[in-house]
A and B are shown apart, each in its own frame.
Chain A
């Protein structure tokens, strides 16, 4: 039997439309409900966060006079469960901030309206809830606001537009929470929020003179890894779970993809986002898993097209949040987990999907799943004429794509491995699954538009991320044949060529990138790094300096520059840059070992500096699991400088072994020389 979702939801439609007896029959014994005693508590707790002056709801419901003016409407929309908007079916996943009314609450409202919506004894009235005006999460540490409003037209279909807000941040910070303010709550229906560290979104924005750019977010704008940022009306701002702040880099743009609804008059829209920072670096990292299909292809008229997908967890993990996503043909969504024991647990079910009320749902308590659990999903789409939301009349074939008239089928899950040591295993496994699907989807799009340079770029980036640098380089070259003057493509080609160890070609590509874009800090750094690797230190130095002048928070450039200065004996400056790199990336072993080496080998090093060298070297060795010969070499030198020669010898031997097995004979020879010094209870000194 085919499911016909529209017919299923037709029941509630009829309940709304038949005749004009709008109120459900009520049994004679049921006591009269009054506003003051029975209804106000429900409205205050469930409706008033949106339905109060200045908020998203189109009218206030705070007082009896307000609510009386909408009594029958309230009875209707609560009975049909249209309001408060809450799509997940009860009993299929327990979520935070659920707005769903209980059956008993709905019954109270029906009885109140059936009795003529009486006020009752105003002495019963609970106090009107007090809401903080403005920012609900508190005073933000940083607010970004659109410099000028976007003017939404008065009518016509919904508008999808993306706005790009530069984030003025002197240094990277950890973000505990963000709060989105729509500016004009009547017009903004929901927002997806991403971060773009490239300039891709800005360039799109600059194409026309009005704020923002058409359509949804550029590929370069994405969620912070493992996090899901967005806003729907009535959503309460929530901090990231404990220990899971996310890092916001300096020079990032906030990108907000807005779904706006016309209101009958032209509306100015000027969004703001407040950031709340924390000094606590994350101790756990979430992984974003996407299930679904990127190859949706629904024949015209098909009333029940289904997609399914599943994923087997490679490690124990918690599901923290879930976000289903489809466009206007989506009707039903189901997701569940099947444990290795065969027991199934519902993760979410949406029986009547409505694109307008999409949301990120956070579980009241993390859903613990063991390794081997299978997460599965099934979505059903209705592309028949009976689907009122069908964007095409008569129906047409609809395929996967990000435009609203295309269709999507994503189910995002925020996973946290139970043991943080499993993070890399989970993240790698998830990334491989998603990359394979993306590659299939974007290759299909490229086949449809072989002359579109950005289609080649998308496919090339996926190959690059998947370690297939040769295929990546091929597509970047095809992109450049179509659009030769794009600095970003030359830069990406440089990355692909570097990965193939074709250093001279890579140097040429990075040079082309900086000649096209004199402000391309990363291209400057990489150009320096390739020259550095080839031993051309004097040529490398000015590129690092330029990279840092353009982008002072470039940790890689600080570290690279520190290394050159260290080699040249400019110890004070070298130390300054290593410390800057560590300030930007506190857990990065490379500047730690750079600094350790500097102090361990300097003739004039103080006992405090030598002690720090040992501490830094030990920490760097731990962070790299004692598998980096340069780190072990620096630690050995630090031990020797501290007079701990036995440890110096043992560590140098370990370094030698790693260097030998990594086939670095030159480096191994250097280590062997130093080892004989330590065996003679002498330290290694420079200068």
Chain B
């Protein structure tokens, strides 16, 4: 994993060529999600100036996911000015745009949201849990996938405070152009597989 990431890093830093998508074989598939208005969105196409994109997979009634809302807001505040774009992804098709808008408001999320009705992005980023995050480089490379931090050990066991801040560390490393030291971690929360399609 480490070696692979280093190649990616060098690719961006020194060669500047278009990189291969990490999951070879899926590269050709177009990944599309939906805006809350129903418009198709290519989540891997980042506008100029966006150095990295963070997709935060959440669900309306998952308590662990909701408890992370303030931490997501703090990370957004800290990294937005450095060219990191945060987007919430709702992978549960049962959650309607109206319910999502209400959720965004209730938890004061200051970021855009998309729906992943077909789980295209879920599969592309190998997401299994809400809350779980995927960090893509400007080149569309999956630089980090996993938990936001290590506060939850499992659903029955929680630390008084996080001791590692995996997402913040990953973003810092991506922005610095260095390889992400822990590019994959295990998130704790609700299973995306439970969301009926």
Contacts and interface: CB of A to CB of B under 8 A. Distances in A.
Interface of A: 12-13, 16-17, 20, 22, 58-59, 65, 68-73, 76-77, 80, 82, 154-155, 157, 186, 262-265, 328, 354, 388-391, 393
Contacts of A155: 67, 69-71
B69 A154 contact: yes
Contacts of B30: none
B155 A264 contact: no
Given A69-B92, A157-B160, A265 B69 contact: yes
Nearest to B71: A155
B194 A73 contact: yes
Contacts of A20: 128
Interface in B143-164: 153-161, 163
B63 A69 contact: no
Most central of B71, B92, B196 by chain A CB within 10 Å:
B196
Interface string B55-75: 000000111001111110000
B157 A264 contact: no
Contacts of A393: 161, 163
B106 interface: yes
Contacts of A13: 153-154, 157
Given A265-B107, A354-B156, 5 more contacts: A80-B155, A155-B69, A262-B67, A263-B63, A388-B159
Contacts of B196: 65, 68-69
| SS class, residues of chain A in contact with chain B | loop
B162 to A, nearest CB: 10
B111 interface: no
Contacts of B157: 13, 388-389
> Which 4 A-B pairs rank lowest in CB-CB distance, beginning with the nearest?
A155-B70, A82-B156, A264-B69, A264-B66
A69 B156 contact: no
B160 A68 contact: no
Nearest to A390: B160
Interface stretch (B34-42, B113-121, B132-140, B185-193): B185-193
Contacts of B163: 393
Contact of A80 (B68, B106, B154, B160): B154
B19 interface: no
Contacts of A262: 67
Contacts of A70: 190-191, 194
B193 A388 contact: no
B94 interface: yes
Given A155-B71, A264-B68, A393-B163, A69 B154 contact: no
7 contacts: A16-B154, A17-B154, A71-B194, A73-B155, A77-B155, A388-B158, A388-B159
Nearest to B128: A20
Interface of B: 61-63, 66-71, 92, 94, 106-108, 128, 153-161, 163, 186, 190-191, 193-196
A389 B160 contact: yes
A59 B94 CA distance: 14
Contacts of B62: 58-59
Contacts of A157: 160-161
Contacts of B161: 157, 393
A17 B186 contact: yes
Nearest to A117: B194
B124 to A, nearest CB: 16
Most central of B69, B161, B186, B191 by chain A CB within 10 Å:
B191
B108 A265 contact: yes
A388 B156 CA distance: 11
Contacts of A354: 156
Nearest to A71: B194
A430 to B, nearest CB: 35
B194 A69 contact: yes
Nearest to A20: B128
Contacts of A77: 155-156
A59 B61 contact: yes
Contacts of B92: 69
B57 to A, nearest CB: 15
A20 B153 CA distance: 16
B159 A22 contact: no
Nearest to B69: A264
A388 B194 contact: no
Contact of A72 (B67, B154, B191): B191
A375 B7 CA distance: 66
A328 B160 contact: yes
A389 B156 CA distance: 11
A322 to B, nearest CB: 23
A63 B115 CA distance: 24
Contacts of A82: 154-156
A388 B153 contact: yes
B142 to A, nearest CB: 17
Contact of A76 (B155, B159, B186): B155
A80 B157 CA distance: 12
A157 B67 CA distance: 11
Given A77-B155, A263-B63, A389-B159, A72 B69 contact: no
A377 B79 CA distance: 52
A72 B63 contact: no
A16 B108 CA distance: 32
Most central of B66, B92, B128 by chain A CB within 10 Å:
B66
A58 B154 contact: no
Contacts of B68: 264
Nearest to A18: B186
Most central of A20, A58, A80, A265 by chain B CB within 10 Å:
A265
A70 B194 CA distance: 5
A58 B194 contact: no
Contact of A264 (B70, B153, B186, B190): B70
Most central of A73, A77, A157, A391 by chain B CB within 10 Å:
A73
